[in-house]
Amino acid sequence: MIELASGRLAKMLIEKTEPLSYHLNVGDEKIGMNTYIGKDIRIISNGEIRCSHCQRRTNKSFNQGYCFPCFKKLAQCDRCMMSPELCHFSQGTCREPEWAEQFCMQEHIVYLANSSGLKVGITRHSQVPTRWMDQGAIQALPIFSVSTRQLSGLVEVIMKEWVADKTNWRKMLKHDVEIIDLEQERGKLFELAKEPLAELRLQFPDEQINQLESGEIWQFEYPSLQWPEKIKTFNLEKQSIIEGKLLAIKGQYLILDSGCFNVRKHTSFDVSLSVA
């Protein structure tokens, strides 16, 4: 094995190519992982995790890379990040109002995506199309543009009446998914949600809730030799060495013949990456 890099792990960078191009961040190195599909790789935990925010050493990673004190105090770790409709900024209880002004009080997109079947989700406008590639979607279509994160969450809640908001990650990793007519699904949802959307607009008369009646359907192809039939995942907190032949890359997962490694889950772990 030849060591390619050593240092703290961060989420993979993805370029919109055909297929997508993946770069693994290890310390100061950005490793082009498409090159190593079909080759044996090894990831070794060097036994240290440092918080991605304060750099404090921690025994456990919380919320993909934070120590427990930062997890408890940072706005980006608050429950409203997962459930934006619970935003409490207007109540004056936000953990970091200045951060929220930049992160939450900006244009957000409500979208339909196809990762393991039809789902609805939200993302900042600036995260298009990164969000969909991170999730392993094969298709995506923006359906609303709204003025704040909270509002995107409230629109999503309405849509959840008819569409799932979660990805079946095992099905996604197996690539067990068929093409969906997203434009047709968008039309159905606009009709079904007409009344609750009208009520939401009355509730927030000064905010923007724009239906996107037309738009580009994004499509994504992932680099692979083959897809797994069974899903086994690795955890560097339980085993210090992960190795196998790299068969595919999808979302934030390296898919080996021995199991699947969630890179994002292991943000801030100090590792060494080697290849045969």
Alpha-carbon dihedral angle through residues 8, 245, 4, 10, given to the nearest 10 degrees: -20
Per-domain residue ranges of the chain: 2-62+222-275, 107-219
pLDDT of residue 271: 98
pTM listed for this prediction? 0.95
User: Is residue 139 within 8 Å of residue 217, measured between CB atoms?
Assistant: yes
Q: How many CB atoms lie within 10 A of CB 196?
A: 15
Specify whether the backbone of 92 is left (phi greater than 0), alpha (psi in -120 to 50) or beta.
Answer: left
The beta-carbon contacts of 13-18 under 8 Å, at least 24 apart in sequence, are 14/130, 14/133, 14/134, 16/129, 16/133, 16/220, 18/221
What one-character-per-residue DSSP string does 43-107 give?
A: EEEEEEEE-TTT--EESS-BTTTB-HHHHHH-GGGSGGGTSGGG--GGGT--S-HHHHHHHTSS-
CA atoms within 13 A on the CB side of 157: 14
Residue ranges of alpha helices (H) inside the chain are 68-73, 97-103, 130-135, 149-159, 169-174, 182-192, 194-203
Q: Which is it for strands 253-256 and 29-32: parallel, antiparallel or unpaired?
A: unpaired
Distance between CA atoms of 212 and 244, rounded to whole angstroms? 44
Q: pLDDT tens for residues 44-64?
A: 999 999 999 999 999 999 999
Determine the pLDDT at residue 181.
98
Q: Nearest-CA neighbor of 140 among 215, 191, 69, 197?
A: 215
Q: What is the pLDDT of residue 223?
A: 98
**Spans of the chain below 70 pLDDT:** none
Mean pLDDT, the chain, rounded, equals: 96
For 123, the token pair is 């993302």
pLDDT digits (tens, 9 = 90+) for 221-244: 999 999 999 999 999 999 999 999
Helices 194-203, 182-192: axis angle to 10 degrees equals 60
Q: Helix or strand or coil: residue 137?
A: coil
Calpha distance 156→165 (Å, rounded): 8
